[in-house]
Structure 1
């Protein structure tokens, strides 16, 4: 199986943010042709790609159909896409993302999309209570009670800001409602006598994304945060990948029998 995803600023056929021009194939940052080149060279049994919600917009209908035709020519009878919210898989943020799956002819009839929706994600306060109080902050319980919703969609920081932050003004306002200062990322949890609105650490953001606490990120704070902020939530990737694995292994076992 081959899993390919696009860096945030490549975005597949998409432009990002309110200034989106939605150039599709005319966008120099469109990496779908490169993804197809890799698929054509490797010819895995299945392919999983991830992109932003805008991939499903009507303006990209022809682009999606072209992608499907190209994959089918390579022998992938099943080519489809599905819009998931990460919260449907227990992740404490909405984070809508499109997953594209292509499965080769001999395995195509066995693949099913995972359902999701049977896991209630914890609130930000409950999820991060131990991390936020790791240094003995006396206000952590009150903070937990106020941060009683799931998170806004994590992003890799606002484009105009040099260091790590939780996104543009609108995103930071949403974080503020949850009692989080989104203007920057903290090196560590609040001091015992901290007063004010706390910031998140890279580890806290990683937990919101669904990463296990022992996952290591390369580089210093800014680089590490951008890796986390631009990531595809692991619980969603795992759910789809498990179904892909089930499809390509079930068919093989059936053939042996």
Structure 2
């Protein structure tokens, strides 16, 4: 099967779109409201059609290329956890989630991907949201599959759980199966970053890599409304500290030959990661560049969908779309 076309909304730095491209899908339109994210997309893929617009303001009838596509994908801003889903600050994220579903009315794709927090898949507090999505998509003839994936299972050196909805029309939904892990052994931070840590002549790169022998905690992009770049909340910083990494900031460059790594002395003795290294931990290829200053680059990376997971997901959807058009008797959607 060739010539599969997709529209991607809330594209960000392009992790989901890049992985889908690797799986054989061709983007016809990518949409994001942040100028720096659009700059990143244009810098890496000048031929992609990138629209700087808020999904809530997007009018698909003005963009005829969005019609008759095979896939609509949306890596959306995170709705709040189940403990805080009723808070006022969740309203924008929930409206974007609803807007992505309503966009399916106009676009009528053969398949739909929505990615968000893992809690969206099963947490009781999100049942009203799932109910709305189920009602709208069933009305359009889609069957739904809710599931979670862990990026570490796909060669990404990071513990990152993704909540996913894949919707397809019959009989393709019966042919869809969530992708299986592509690695038997998780890639540790030390193995992933050892080479880059040594690029500046740092003599302790091997010793550090031996201690950084687990996957990274989830990278957190943070909010545009707060501070500079750091690797996440207190618990995440403690996990980084156990690997001898200062999670309170992001470095401008890798350590040089004179840097003394002494994590037992506190933050001043810990190594810091760069934005390029954060991109490695998110599964981006080394030639993918990010626009903006350091904090803007890190936030794009921290919010991104890991491309290796997107590729595996795209291949699974591609297989389902190629399935013979023979209805499966008695099949109903799951969850």
TM-score, normalising length from structure 1? Answer: 0.88
- Identify the structure with bigger relative contact order (alpha carbons < 8 Å, sequence gap 6+): 2
Residue equivalent to 2:91: 27
Runs of 4+ in structure 1 displaced over 3 angstroms?
157-161
- Cα–Cα, structure 1 residues 207 and 97, in superposed 2: closer, same or farther, change >3 Å? same
User: 1:1-257 residue pairs with structure 2 within 5 A?
Assistant: 1-7=71-77, 11=78, 14-15=79-80, 20-23=83-86, 27-30=91-94, 31-55=96-120, 56-76=122-142, 78-116=143-181, 118-157=183-222, 161-195=226-260, 196-251=269-324
> What do the CA deviations read for 1:143-169 (whole angstroms, capped 9, x no partner)?
111111111111114788511110122
Tell whether the 8 Å contact from 2:221 to 2:299 is kept in structure 1 after alignment.
yes
Mapped to 2, the partners of 1:160 and 1:32 lie a distance apart of 21
Mapped to 1, the partners of 2:183 and 2:251 lie a distance apart of 33
> What do the CA deviations read for 1:210-237 (whole angstroms, capped 9, x no partner)?
1111111121211111010011111111
Mapped to 1, the partners of 2:300 and 2:135 lie a distance apart of 32
Give the unaligned 5+ runs of structure 1: none
Give the unaligned 5+ runs of structure 2: 1-70, 261-268, 327-335
3-state SS, counterpart of residue 27 of structure 1: helix
3-state SS, counterpart of residue 93 of structure 2: coil
Mapped to 1, the partners of 2:166 and 2:216 lie a distance apart of 27
TM-score, normalising length from structure 2? Answer: 0.69
Tell whether the 8 Å contact from 1:24 to 1:60 is kept in structure 2 after alignment.
no
Report the RMSD for the aligned CA atoms in angstroms: 2.3
3-state SS, counterpart of residue 49 of structure 1: strand
